[in-house]
Structure 1
Amino acid sequence: MFEGLDDIDWSLLEHAYGTAEEIPGLLRALRSPHSEERSKALDRYYSAVHHQGDVYPSTAASLPFLFELAADSATPDRAAVVALLVSIGRESLERGFADDGTEIEYYPPAGFAQAASFLRARGAEFAELARDPDPNVSLAAVPGLGVFLDDAGRAAALLRERLAAERGIAARLRILDAAAVLALRLPAASPHVMDWLTQLAAAPALGPVTRLAALIQRARCTPHEIGEDVLPAAVALLRENIGVLPVQPIAPASSRPPVPTQGVAPQIVAAFEDLDHSTRVYALTTGLLRTFHDVLAGRVAERTAVLAEQLASPDPGTRLDAVRMSGELMRTWRGDHTHLLMLVAGQLTTDDLEVAAGAVGVLETCHPIADPAREALAAYVDAQRTAHGPDVWAAPEARLRKSHQAAVRALARLGDARALPSLLAALDGDVDTWRAIQVTRYLPQAAGELVPRLGDHLRRIDLSQEWTTMSANAILSALAALGDPAAVDVVADALRAAARHEQHGVTASALRTLEAFGPAAADVREAIRSLTTHTDAHIRPAAVAALWAVGANPAETMPLLLDLLDDPITFRIREAADVLAEIGPPASAALPRLRERLTHGYEWVRVPCAAALWAIGGQSEAPAVLDALLQAMGENPATANAVVACLDRMGALAAPALPLLHKQLAQPQRGNGFQTLENDEELQRLASTLISRLDSPTSTPAARR
């Protein structure tokens, strides 16, 4: 074994973290008699050599040796090695080739095509692994039948054989998934596989889980042919599953080494913990149902009906996974989600705090549309404060603390003052204060109570320490949103301290906060002015914008802005254009440069420059502005919000944009994946309002004037 391993110059190859010289050691460790050594090697292989599904030339070069390990019955943990091979092959086929089968070129070069070629050449050997006496090995090899074996008849026969011999639910789900993959990959296999799946879905003796899997995988093969009978059948089988699948408490997460916190912002620590938590799957059928939701795609009503059944399950793990899927649906697809929001809010009455925390987390991330759940959230927060006291934000029991904090944050994001008591308790205490700070911005009506506390927290931050940047920026952002001039002095002090300690990120944030205060921050003008020539890429434009906002005259700011328009850094041009738009007609000296920028290669330069051109030049610039806006929106849907906002200001002159606006509103997906839910809801509101105005018979240029 491993013959030729040391003949490869691994130092010339790389993985995710640099040179691949460690790969021979990892491969040998996978054969170690010590389980801990094998586990560490496998973890390292996934994290570095197969990092987030990537396949490097070094990954492909290691495949012959991984295959030797998998084929040798003396190798410990063979099933894990086989699963690794399948993962590499699956990612290679999905990411290495275009829809027409041509290889996608990557730079730097990737190993997708090389890996796929090697593994598909060994499809017959995967067939042997699928019959291995070790049931774990054979089960791990089953997906390879769908991915690698080009003999469609043999692959289908093996899958039938495995299903007939297998009684475990997890194994059956994997076998039927492989069958669908085979049918999708090899057209020759498709008719036979789909007939088989149809027969399985109609065979009561197989049990509801297997029948549901067959129904869903059959629909996956031909999503455009899903009939009206598929959804009722799926819902009925989901209800039958209640008596078959186990109901058990949500198991605690497996213990992991603690995340180092010294010198790390608490937001970063929490983000990694949340990422680890969010990747867990709690129910056997979750992967299958995710497949069904993917197949249904934008059929919001049908997906909501399926989720309603999932959320009605007596199994808390099933409901928690369904809560997360509900959030994914609402964040990805447009539609009336009121019913689904209320179903998610209904999970707040459960005794399982993990499920409740998941529900309020979804309501928080979906806050622009979550108003129907407002009263349920408020009742949940009030019930927790009543049952556990006013300090429940800092409750020692982690699950209670997490669920309460998430509910308070969700309620605050709705602008509901009933979140305030817990937020004030958090600001006055020292437990997860940063979580409260992030949502104070949504309660401007409580600025009188929030701003002094936020100011106190800002004063206590030692800006000589690098790790404080994120915390300081969060407070400054909250103060800017609240807009209370009472915070001017503390922000000015933070600006001076940040500049003194060369905390460039905090300096720029403080400048943006002073900009939000406008003329109320006029006394800080000299400190701002001193930073308008700063060499940092972010500080200089932020200082120029703040200088204008606090009351400088155009004669002082125009030369600074014109310099920024000539800057090679694109975001500096964008920020200068935004300020010029605020100045309006007195900034006419910028018109020639702005017109030139309409031919810039980057749409995020063209759009703000077009908006500034309209704000300064008005109707005479309309043709060029309109052309630039529509072209940018067609090229990059992510510009839609900025484009539509400018079109709205143009009024009736934006009439040529009507077809594009109608097309934008007609798409079922939120921004084709580019838009957040919040931005997309704002885009729909702006576009609908503008369309109504433009379609109005009184909407003419003369009427607008």
Structure 2
Amino acid sequence: ERRKALDRFYGAVHHQGSVYPATAASLPFLLELAADGATPDRAAIVALMVSIGRESLDQGFEDDGTEIEYCPPMGCGQAVAFLRERGAQFAGLARDPDPDVRLAAIGGLGLFLDDADRAAALLRGRLAAEEGIAARLRIVQAAATLALRLPAASQQVMDWLAGLAADPAQGPATRLAALVQRARCAPEEIGEDVVPAAVGLLRETARALPVQRIAPAPSRPATPTDTVAPQIVAAFEDLDRHTRVYAPTTALLRTFHEALGARVPERTAVLAEQLSSADPGSCLDAVRMSGELMRTWRGDHTRLLLLVADQLTAADQEVAAEAAAVLESCHPIAAPAREALAAHIDAQRVAHGPQAWAAPQAMLRRSHQEAVRALARLGDRRALPSLLAALDSDVDAWHAIQVAGHLPQAADQLVPRLCDHLRRFDLSQQWTEMSANAILAALAALGDPAAVPVVVDTLGAAVRHEQHGVTRSALKALGAFGPAATGAREMIRSLTTATDAHVRPAAVAALWAAGGDLAEVMPLLLSLLDDRITFRISDAADLLGEIGPPASVALPRLRNLLMHDYEWVRVHCAAALWEIGGQAEAPAVLNVLLQAMAQNPATANHVVACLDRMGPLAAPALPLLHEQLALPRRGGRYQSLDHDEELQRVGRTLIARLDKRHEAAPPTPPQPGRWAPAPPR
């Protein structure tokens, strides 16, 4: 009952770290409970108060102490003021006889005490008194928080941390924590000796801590699979996994990686040591951190990919499963791990039979499935037997369907099975939408016209049951089949006047792809250009660009849309303007593209793709292209690994082509009135 009450409290007034006036108003009552030794579970209440204070400081105030506009009125300010006034009580809780209460309260010493000297002295005293590794790590962390929050405490705390890191009388975990938190206080001062020292202390710490088996995840009630999409069930299982931490040093090492930032080689060296640990929990946490590094930062990750691939043979199946999942999530750069993935899959099939995909042991099944998915995303046919087994057995078939489109060389075996699954969906049930969409996307990627009749039947069923998402996916699939979908034109045509915002542009695109007449399609596209819904304008512009010069009647409207207030609309319309109007439109197109990319880096993939098509006329973009590719953090749409890798590939090719042409061409004197792109804002 107490746990339920605490969960309800978090959900009501501290959801995802939010701080409202009601949150602040509850603090006196929470502190009263925490101060009463008879209250059960006091540590959870103290941790809640520390969380409220930390979030109030992080979200509610700028560095100069002024309240941020988006913070609920008075909520953060009230919370911080109350907790700072009660700093002495937190100092008392940090000396409580209950070790869990002390552990929860330690963070408050760095957050709520405004007397720098007193706070630093209290933390030094607590470190001398505490023996547990968790408490000692928390104390050192609180000291760094104090130094970052109060300039008056900064130098004395950093000197203390430096002394701790060099003190052989301290345990290796405490010394490692001091070194890391000192780096957190001043990341710009991290020298060449810091990472080797951290690696040495990490090695000593690993030897000092006991090796423990990974505890099984807590059991949860089974989710009904006939009313909930399996993708949703899996998403919550992933959340459960990723909120679990297995090693006491994991939070500390995450802090170190954050302080190192873009220093990819140094971070790889630290992760290499983490991955060599004999403790499976430490390895599992390190595998996850490796994935985070590769997905967030650019660089040569070959060594790290191979180190993660080595974990596929780990004795603990959960570590192997996590390694396979990381390689799957990093598939655009995972080619160095290809052979390790194939060997892992083969070994599992030899040991557990051809049905390893459906193995009853959960971790073995996950390890096999993630490795198969990673290999399939690399376009490797060796993943096919397991994918076919999944589709034939219908065990976790959705997991195989998501990657089936990456094996077009096996379309003759995949398409009949995918069509069979698609036929069996009952589109009167809303929960089937995600699975139907995934199959339609896979069929579109495979491009086998044999799937057209089933896709047409699915389209009809989706329209009858008003499944607009499936309707759009079926239309996109028919569009991918091109003239092979000519027989469906009447059904497609009937949807070009649909009221659903997504269905109508998808129907127009499918009608054109299926051999539609330009005279019929153009009025529909011009109407979409006049729409108030921005993605409809962008979809119409994309199709007009595909049509090219025959769509010249749209040029005046596209030119006007270059002044639209949404940069995504401007980018799509500029690209269409280039495809239709060509060289004559280049100055205006370049101006829009470069300003949009400077304003919103998420547009970079679309911008660079259009610049690549423009060829030599894209030369004025060279400075911005060089600037974009020099960034250490991944960019492009969603800052995702796959979009960023594509952005880098196209960008480097274009730069090389433009630089080569520039070197070969004789210098051209400036011309009066010659257009130049506006400088990025």
Per-residue deviation, residues 357-400 of structure 1 (Å, max 9, x unmatched): 00000000000000000000000000000110001111111111
The answer to whether residue 341 in structure 2 is matched with residue 377 in structure 1 is yes
The answer to whether residue 64 in structure 2 is matched with residue 106 in structure 1 is no
- Preserved CA contact (<8 Å) 1:653 1:701: no
Q: Which residue in the other structure is 2:493 paired with?
A: 529
Q: Which amino acid aligns with 1:667?
A: L
Q: Which residue in the other structure is 2:434 paired with?
A: 470
Q: Which residue in the other structure is 1:447 paired with?
A: 411
Q: Which amino acid aligns with 1:693?
A: R
Q: Which residue in the other structure is 2:332 paired with?
A: 368
The answer to whether residue 247 in structure 2 is matched with residue 283 in structure 1 is yes
Q: Which residue in the other structure is 1:116 paired with?
A: 80
Per-residue deviation, residues 458-516 of structure 1 (Å, max 9, x unmatched): 00111111111111000001001111111111101101111111111100100000011
Partner SS for 1:671: coil
Q: CA separation in 2, counterparts of 1:651 and 1:667? A: 23
Normalized against structure 2, the TM-score is what? 0.96
- Preserved CA contact (<8 Å) 2:331 2:374: yes
Q: CA separation in 2, counterparts of 1:581 and 1:436? A: 34
Q: CA separation in 1, counterparts of 2:389 and 2:12? A: 43
**What are the within-5 Å matches in structure 2 for residues 235-274 of structure 1?**
235-274=199-238
The answer to whether residue 148 in structure 2 is matched with residue 184 in structure 1 is yes
Q: Which residue in the other structure is 1:320 paired with?
A: 284
Q: Which residue in the other structure is 1:340 paired with?
A: 304
Q: CA separation in 1, counterparts of 2:597 and 2:388? A: 43
- Preserved CA contact (<8 Å) 2:603 2:637: no
The answer to whether residue 531 in structure 2 is matched with residue 567 in structure 1 is yes
The answer to whether residue 136 in structure 2 is matched with residue 172 in structure 1 is yes
Per-residue deviation, residues 407-458 of structure 1 (Å, max 9, x unmatched): 1001101100000000000000121010000000110110010001000000
Which residue among 637, 652, 657 is the counterpart of 2:616?
Answer: 652
- Preserved CA contact (<8 Å) 2:172 2:205: yes
Change in Cα spacing, 1:110 to 1:516, as seen in structure 2 (3 Å) is: farther
Partner SS for 1:98: coil
Q: Which residue in the other structure is 1:297 paired with?
A: 261
Change in Cα spacing, 1:83 to 1:231, as seen in structure 2 (3 Å) is: same
Q: Which amino acid aligns with 2:274?
A: Q
Query: What's the offset of the Cα at 1:262?
Result: 4.4
Long gaps (5+) in structure 1: 1-36
Q: CA separation in 2, counterparts of 1:652 and 1:672? A: 23
Q: CA separation in 2, counterparts of 1:334 and 1:365? A: 15
- Preserved CA contact (<8 Å) 1:561 1:576: yes
Which residue among 546, 569, 577 is the counterpart of 1:613?
Answer: 577
Q: Which amino acid aligns with 2:331?
A: H
Q: Which residue in the other structure is 1:675 paired with?
A: 639
Q: Which residue in the other structure is 1:495 paired with?
A: 459
Query: What's the offset of the Cα at 1:261?
Result: 4.0
Q: CA separation in 1, counterparts of 2:85 and 2:624? A: 48
- Preserved CA contact (<8 Å) 1:129 1:141: yes
The answer to whether residue 399 in structure 2 is matched with residue 435 in structure 1 is yes
- Preserved CA contact (<8 Å) 2:401 2:438: yes
Query: What's the offset of the Cα at 1:103?
Result: 1.4
**What are the within-5 Å matches in structure 2 for residues 623-638 of structure 1?**
623-638=587-602
- Preserved CA contact (<8 Å) 1:577 1:609: yes
Per-residue deviation, residues 243-287 of structure 1 (Å, max 9, x unmatched): 211101100112334445441101101110111111100001000
Q: CA separation in 2, counterparts of 1:601 and 1:523? A: 40
Q: CA separation in 1, counterparts of 2:190 and 2:640? A: 29
Partner SS for 2:67: coil
Q: Which amino acid aligns with 1:381?
A: I
- Preserved CA contact (<8 Å) 2:294 2:330: yes
- Preserved CA contact (<8 Å) 2:604 2:636: no
Q: Which residue in the other structure is 1:587 paired with?
A: 551
Q: Which residue in the other structure is 1:34 paired with?
A: none
Q: Which residue in the other structure is 1:389 paired with?
A: 353
- Preserved CA contact (<8 Å) 2:13 2:19: yes
Query: What's the offset of the Cα at 1:107?
Result: 7.3
Partner SS for 1:55: coil
Q: CA separation in 2, counterparts of 1:77 and 1:125? A: 18
- Preserved CA contact (<8 Å) 1:176 1:217: yes
Identity %: 76
Q: Which residue in the other structure is 1:27 paired with?
A: none
Q: Which residue in the other structure is 2:100 paired with?
A: 136
- Preserved CA contact (<8 Å) 1:637 1:674: no
Large movers: runs of 4+ above 6 Å:
698-702
Q: Which amino acid aligns with 2:201?
A: L
Change in Cα spacing, 1:107 to 1:494, as seen in structure 2 (3 Å) is: farther
Q: CA separation in 2, counterparts of 1:201 and 1:256? A: 43
Q: Which residue in the other structure is 1:330 paired with?
A: 294
Query: What's the offset of the Cα at 1:610?
Result: 0.4
Q: Which amino acid aligns with 1:555?
A: A
Long gaps (5+) in structure 2: 667-681
